[in-house]
Structures are given as C-alpha cells and as structure tokens.
C-alpha cells in the first residue's frame, strides 16, 4: 500500500522507464497497423472489474500499455496517417508539456503565475508577426492573443464577444432576444453550429450562405444579400465565420470581400484557419490569408500542423475590451492588487474555464527546437508531397480530382466510366480496402453528390515513400474493385447511374 507520492529519486527512475517506452513506441509506430483491429468492448473486457485497493508498481502501467492500449489505439503519429488533419505531437512538444506538468502551474491570473501569463503574451505577439497578422492583433498594438484548447472553443469565445458587441452589452443580462443571426457556409466547421447552441441562440440562428458558383467558398455577394435581408426583416446580424482551409476540401473563403460586408454592417468577423494557419509562416502561401488581418478575431491550431501536442489553439483578437467585457465574472476571492492595477493580463477573462494550463511551454519548446525555418520546411515538405500525389492521379485514368488540391490536402475519386453512382461505390470500396490494409488511413467527404477520398498529408514522419505506398495501394485497390462494383451498379440501376446532388459533408472533426 502506498500513501505517499513518488520521491524525486523514484520519479527519476520511473521517468526514465516511461520516456524509454515513449521513445520505443515512436520508433516502431510505423510498423504497426494504423487502425486497431478491435471490436467495441475489447478494451473494457481486458481491464480489471474493480479499482485496486492497494497501490501497484507503476511499471504495471507500461505493461498494460503494451497489452491493452497500443493494440486498441488509432496511431495518429503513424507516417501512413492521412485521414483527419494531422495531430503532430512532436517529441519536442512532449518535453515542453512535461515541464508544464512538472511545474503544476494554474495560470488563471497573472498573480497565480506571472511566467505562464507573460510567456504566453510574448509568444502570441511573436507568432502574430511571424504569420503576417497586423500589429493590431498584438498586445503592443492594442489587441492580443491567447492559447485556447481547440478551435471549437475559439469559435464559441468569438461568438460570445460578437453577441456582447452587437447587443451593446445587454446580452450578458438579458440573453438572446430571438433576432440574432450567425452566418456560415455549408462547409464551415460544425463547431459553429454547436457554438450557437451553447450560446443559447439555437441552431435556427445559423444561416448558411451559398457558395460562389462552381466552388465551395462562401459567396461574398450572397452574404451581403443575406445580411441586407435579415436587417430589413428586423433580425440582428451578429457574426460571420470565414474559413481558410475547410475541413472537407480545404476551401478558402474570400476573406477580404467578406470583411467588407462585415464592416458595412458592423458584424463581427471571425476567421477559422484551424488547419491551414500554419501555412501562413511561408510567404508563398500568404495569398490564401488575404484579408485575415481585417477580422475581429482569428484562430489556428498549433496541435494540427504546427508540431505541438494537443491541445493548443492560437486565438487572436483586435478587440480585447469587448472579449473581456463579455466574459468577466469577478468574485471576491479572485481580487488582487496586480489585477486591480490594470497593468497585467488575466487570461481567465479570455475563455470559459477559470483554470488554465501552462500550454505556452510546449509550443515555445517546439519553436525553439525547430525555429521558424524548420516550421516552414515542415509545411513545405507536406505541400510538395501532396502535389506529387496530385500529379500521379492527374496522369492516371483510374482517378480524378474531386476538387483542386488545397495545400497538403488532396481529394480524389475513382473513375469507372459508368456514372457517379458507380464512381461513388468504387471509391468507397477503395477507401475500405485501404483502411483495412493497415499501411495507411484515409477518410472521405461528399461534394455535389460525389464521394471523395480525402488524403491529408501532414505527419511529422511522413516521407515520399509513405505517400508512394498509399498511391500503390490506391491503384491496386481501384483495379480490384472497379469491375465488380460497376457491374453491380449497372445490374441494380438498369444501366442508368444517377449523378446525385448535395453539398460537402465532411466526415472529419476539426
């Protein structure tokens, strides 16, 4: 029985064992099947029915990692992981996270952890400059940044600030009045609908703006018409969410044009660049971010393409006063001289939770390990690999691009020559074969009734050979399924394949 924590020496000894386990796992993860071959309930069947009454040696945890956890894990750090947008937990970020956890800081106020607060402020200011955001998004320029847990939280925080500004502050006490409207496209992440629900607006407050003709990006003209219509009807336009790099296809909304509509009507503009934001480190990709500096708030995920272990979302706003006014609740027990002096930032007012981790340490460690040049090389390598895959598909009659490549995201479908239904069936069958094979993992989306394979290149250890292995498997799977699938579709449809209609329906989380 143990009634005390580890001693520093015991921690040192076990720490070496745990670090060795992580290092060994990362060394061999590419040899494992990306997806686990287990059924629901497999894990629980192998766990003890009761918690231990007496303490156990912590080496037993490592034994159970090998016995239960690894066989039932989807290996997000696998070089053949092309499914959802990446979750790059670099080993450098793990070291930074270890330091954060070791300190055990709770950074809700400047006074509870000056280092946690000021390092985060300094880092977010530096990152704003490194990604091309204007000075108005920095603390020195009157704005500022904060590390949230996820892009979903950033969307909710932006909406709460937008509601506060649109209502002149009345929203905090009176709540919704039933007139609020939030504007998104059909391809905006689902977290915006959830934000509307969480904020008390309800899903019916979310207005879907049509895409520009022939694409997936929001139409600024359609947005302007929708806002004018809502204003004339007595509704209150609150916020527009523009996306740079949608989840399904990587589409980029025309942010500058959308910003002009928002400015005309005093509507809060939030830009969600959760995945694509890392590309802003590269000057050659800055064109995708045209107009982002005109937004009221902007966010991107450090835990996707920026080599930092989950959770780490970077959120900036030029209107910190509205954000803080919208979220501040000040009980007596949080009052202190530093806060009341007005000379410090208290991040508790920048998000919903009171408590907050020292997340900046893991991102700071990554940036000090790789440098800005290393981050740029990381992004460029994945874009180049995706471009190679795109070129292979363009030269092969068995495949076609469903939408243009966006940075490191390629969307393909199998061409059967027998109509969309046959193509969809063959593409789905190819996806199932790829994922069952164990070497790679891909997901899908649907655009205009067409089922597409999504290949998101972004793994820290992903090299050309892994993309080539996926391509070889795609070709082999297409050859294996096309004849059988198209024959079956022809038999059941009487030789007529419907083309189908519909919108992008991402099967992926942000």
Instruction: Look up the pTM and report it.
Output: 0.92
Q: Which fold has domain 8-31+36-73?
A: dopa decarboxylase, N-terminal domain (1.20.1340)
Q: What is the largest CA-CA distance in the chain?
A: 79
Q: CA–CA separation, 402 vs 453, rounded Å?
A: 9
**CATH assignment of 105-357, given 3.30.420.40, 3.40.640.10, 3.30.300.30, 1.20.120.430?**
3.40.640.10
- The per-residue pLDDT for 214 is 78
Q: CA–CA separation, 481 vs 431, rounded Å?
A: 11
The two tokens of residue 33 are 């099947």
- The per-residue pLDDT for 506 is 41
CATH top-level class for 377-493? alpha beta
Is 46 exposed, middle or buried (CB count within 10 Å of its CB: 0-12, 13-18, 19+)? middle
Give the pairing of strands 236-243 and 180-185. Answer: parallel
* Torsion, CA 161, CA 167, CA 171, CA 175, rounded to 10: -120
pLDDT per residue of the chain (510 residues) written in tens, 0 to 9 = 567 899 999 999 999 999 999 999 999 999 999 999 999 999 999 999 999 998 899 999 999 999 999 999 999 999 999 999 999 999 999 999 999 999 999 999 999 999 999 999 999 999 999 999 999 999 999 999 999 999 999 999 999 999 999 999 888 887 778 899 999 999 899 899 999 999 999 999 999 999 988 789 999 999 999 999 999 999 999 999 999 999 999 999 999 999 999 999 999 999 999 999 999 999 999 999 999 999 999 999 999 999 999 999 999 999 999 999 999 998 888 899 999 999 999 999 999 999 999 999 999 999 999 999 999 999 999 999 999 999 999 999 999 999 999 999 999 999 999 999 999 999 999 999 999 999 999 999 999 999 999 999 999 999 999 999 999 999 999 999 986 765 565 555 544 333 333 344 444 333
The two tokens of residue 413 are 């479908």
Per DSSP, 68 falls in state I
Is 23 exposed, middle or buried (CB count within 10 Å of its CB: 0-12, 13-18, 19+)? exposed
Q: Residue 401 in 3-state DSSP?
A: strand
- CB 316, CB 145: distance < 8 Å: yes
Q: CA–CA separation, 216 vs 45, rounded Å?
A: 45
Is 495 exposed, middle or buried (CB count within 10 Å of its CB: 0-12, 13-18, 19+)? exposed
- By C-alpha distance, which of 222, 463, 69, 115 is closest to 230? 222
- The per-residue pLDDT for 485 is 62
Q: CA–CA separation, 350 vs 313, rounded Å?
A: 13
The two tokens of residue 66 are 């090998």
Domain boundaries, the chain: 8-31+36-73, 105-357, 377-493
User: Which residues are within 8 A (CB) of 113 and not within 5 positions of it... i.e. 6 or more apart?
Assistant: 105, 106, 107, 358
The two tokens of residue 216 are 């997936």
User: Which residues are within 8 A (CB) of 449 and not within 5 positions of it... i.e. 6 or more apart?
Assistant: 420, 424, 499, 500, 501, 502
Q: CA–CA separation, 114 vs 110, rounded Å?
A: 5
- CB 422, CB 485: distance < 8 Å: yes
Residue that is written with structure tokens 């509601």 in the block:
163
The two tokens of residue 306 are 């920026």
Q: Judge if 8-31+36-73 and 377-493 fold alike in CATH terms.
A: no
């Amino acid at each position: 029985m143990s009634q005390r924590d580890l001693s520093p020496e015991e921690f040192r000894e076990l720490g070496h064992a745990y670090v060795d386990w992580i290092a060994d796992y990362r060394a061999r993860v590419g040899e494992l099947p990306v997806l686990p071959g287990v059924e629901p309930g497999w894990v629980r069947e192998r766990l003890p029915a009761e918690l231990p009454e007496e303490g156990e040696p912590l080496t037993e945890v490592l034994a159970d990692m090998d016995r239960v956890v690894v066989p039932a894990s989807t290996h997000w750090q696998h070089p053949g992981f092309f499914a959802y947008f990446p979750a790059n937990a670099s080993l450098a970020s793990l070291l930074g996270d270890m330091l954060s956890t070791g300190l055990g800081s709770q950074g809700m106020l400047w006074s509870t952890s000056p280092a946690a607060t000021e390092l985060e402020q300094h880092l977010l200011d530096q990152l704003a400059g490194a990604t091309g955001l204007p000075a108005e998004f920095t603390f020195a320029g009157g704005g500022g940044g904060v590390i949230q847990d996820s892009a979903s939280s950033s969307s909710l925080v932006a909406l709460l600030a937008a509601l506060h500004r649109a209502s002149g502050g009345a929203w905090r006490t009176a709540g919704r009045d039933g007139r609020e409207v939030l504007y998104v496209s059909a391809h905006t992440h689902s977290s915006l609908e959830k934000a509307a629900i969480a904020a008390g607006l309800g899903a019916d407050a979310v207005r879907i703006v049509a895409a520009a003709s022939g694409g997936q990006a929001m139409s600024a003209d359609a947005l302007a018409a929708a806002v004018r219509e809502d204003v004339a009807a007595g509704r209150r336009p609150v916020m527009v969410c523009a996306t740079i790099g949608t989840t399904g296809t990587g589409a980029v909304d025309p942010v500058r044009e959308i910003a002009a509509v928002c400015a005309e009507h005093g509507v809060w503009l939030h830009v969600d660049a959760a995945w694509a934001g890392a590309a802003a480190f590269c000057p050659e990709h800055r064109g995708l971010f045209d107009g982002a500096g005109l937004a009221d708030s902007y966010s991107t995920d450090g835990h996707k393409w920026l080599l930092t272990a989950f959770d780490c979302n970077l959120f900036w706003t030029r209107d910190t006063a509205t954000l803080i006014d919208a979220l501040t609740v000040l009980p007596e027990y949080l009052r202190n001289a530093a806060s009341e002096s007005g000379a410090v930032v208290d991040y508790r007012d920048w998000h919903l939770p009171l408590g907050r981790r020292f997340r900046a340490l893991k991102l700071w460690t990554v940036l000090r390990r790789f440098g800005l040049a290393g981050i740029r090389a990381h992004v460029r390598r994945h874009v180049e690999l995706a471009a190679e895959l795109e070129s292979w598909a363009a030269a092969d009659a068995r495949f076609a691009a469903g939408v243009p490549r966006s940075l490191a995201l390629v969307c393909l479908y199998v061409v059967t020559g027998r109509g969309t239904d046959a193509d969809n069936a063959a593409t789905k069958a190819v996806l199932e074969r790829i994922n069952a094979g164990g070497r790679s993992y891909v997901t899908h989306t649907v655009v205009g009734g067409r089922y597409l394979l999504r290949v998101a290149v972004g793994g820290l250890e992903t090299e050309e050979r892994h993309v080539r292995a996926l391509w070889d498997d795609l070709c082999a799977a297409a050859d294996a399924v096309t004849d059988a699938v198209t024959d079956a579709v022809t038999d059941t449809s009487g030789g007529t394949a419907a083309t189908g209609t519909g919108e992008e329906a991402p099967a992926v989380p942000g």
